[in-house]
Chains A and B, each alone.
Chain A
């Protein structure tokens, strides 16, 4: 069976089962399966997941991948963050260090939402 999320060890069968159970958007799949929240923060698995979800639900990948899908944040040690001087509010976020654009919209909050 094909592994979709290497970090969290989730294979295609598990993804398909979840989709059949009614988890048909990225947010709920992410929370239900914990796919895409490993050390690589979905860099590896999100593109695959989007393709499977598109195929299974007959949608186009662009319809599924919301503008809100946050590019992964690079792990940053708390010590490094603590030493950096305080910046002004909303100056950016962890991912911005890699030049990630802000994909958030007003309605759909950044970070896609939670745990």
Chain B
């Protein structure tokens, strides 16, 4: 570790490593990534891996669509297998309300060039033959949605960034900041201080705690989300299947496991990452209702991770007004993996050019909470 870098990135998940790699492709390699535990120790290593473009707000649709273009070429570019598959996302509608909202979403998505469509329960069963359609009102499907292995994506980014000269260090925690003149001058770490022109907060569920150490208040709060995996089975399920009203999602990984989770509306905010029996039961009940033949699948693992949730379920990007070199890359609210390529791109542009070029992030900076002009993202799962 040197005593100064152009960019210090805090957090070794898909955000931090993705940004480090993206910067390196733009010729910026005087970069340090600090990870307090090991790469993928946070949400990224615990994530469902889903990549969905079917969102309800313009920004998220755009972020996800651009990210899919990146995922499509990423393995080749990184020279690293990422287990990317475009089996689509099948979104099931159980309530009148979500059925209606889903038609509006598809109209907006189609107007932006996304190939999503509203389908009948019978058409849904053509995509997933084992589906129980008795209480489904309708569904939407987007064939270019899919999933990838978040651990391998991050690993691939980290390797490529290191090859380009970026330093990625694990077991080092950012503990505080020395600020002056409206900027961060130094990051304090468990290995001593390090100076930086830019400091990026990619600390996931810990990002609000970290920002507070620089005197910056972020509205993100951590929430536990649980997930399980079954044994490996021969490939039989193409799409990721989800329901917003049930808060459930599941897919079959390229490896063959069914991996899925379900949100708990009663979950309090906190850093608890323990798995619960309650989750296993709820998940088992809902998933076997949706696909009754799943009763025979064996669960072998369960784990939990933290969503980093903002009040409008959209990420926080860009600098904060009080410290103009303190760049945020957090608040992903449970869908940060799928939009990470584009968020890395935008953040790299801020560092390289002083502003974003690909798209405006005016509605995604932290100021929006202070102005109070929020547009809620409706299509949140879990």
Contacts and interface: CB of A to CB of B under 8 A. Distances in A.
Nearest to B273: A109
Interface stretch (A9-17, A31-39, A46-54, A55-63): A31-39
Given A78-B230, A113-B41, A115-B151, A93 B301 contact: no
B305 A93 contact: no
Contact of A32 (B49, B155, B275): B155
Contacts of B277: 87, 90-94, 96
A99 interface: no
A25 B39 CA distance: 11
> Secondary structure of the B side of the interface?
mixed
B278 A111 contact: no
B311 interface: no
Contacts of A94: 275, 277, 280, 299, 302
A75 B299 contact: yes
B5 interface: no
A25 B255 CA distance: 23
Nearest to A90: B276
B231 A110 contact: no
Interface stretch (B62-70, B289-297, B369-377): B289-297
B44 to A, nearest CB: 8
B105 interface: no
A100 B244 CA distance: 35
B259 interface: yes
A101 interface: no
B300 interface: yes
Interface centre among A28, A81, A94 (most CB of B within 10 A): A81
B163 interface: no
A87 B276 CA distance: 9
Given A31-B40, A73-B302, A115-B46, A104 B151 contact: no
A27 B276 CA distance: 21
B301 A37 contact: yes
B45 A115 contact: yes
A1 interface: no
Contact of A27 (B38, B49, B295): B38
A41 B300 contact: yes
B104 interface: no
B287 A73 contact: no
Contacts of B299: 73, 75-78, 81, 94
Nearest to B171: A25
Interface string B296-336: 11111111110000000000000000000000000000000
Interface centre among B49, B230, B231, B302 (most CB of A within 10 A): B302
Contacts of B287: 78, 82
B155 to A, nearest CB: 7
A78 B155 contact: no
B274 interface: yes
B362 to A, nearest CB: 34
Contact of A77 (B39, B149, B155, B296): B296
Given A27-B41, A109-B303, A112-B303, 13 more contacts: A73-B299, A73-B300, A75-B298, A81-B280, A81-B281, A82-B285, A87-B277, A88-B278, A92-B277, A93-B280, A110-B303, A111-B303, A115-B150
Interface of B: 38-41, 45-47, 49, 149-151, 155, 229-231, 255, 259, 273-278, 280-285, 287-288, 294-305
14 contacts: A73-B300, A75-B300, A77-B297, A81-B281, A82-B287, A86-B282, A90-B276, A92-B276, A92-B277, A93-B280, A109-B304, A110-B303, A111-B304, A115-B49
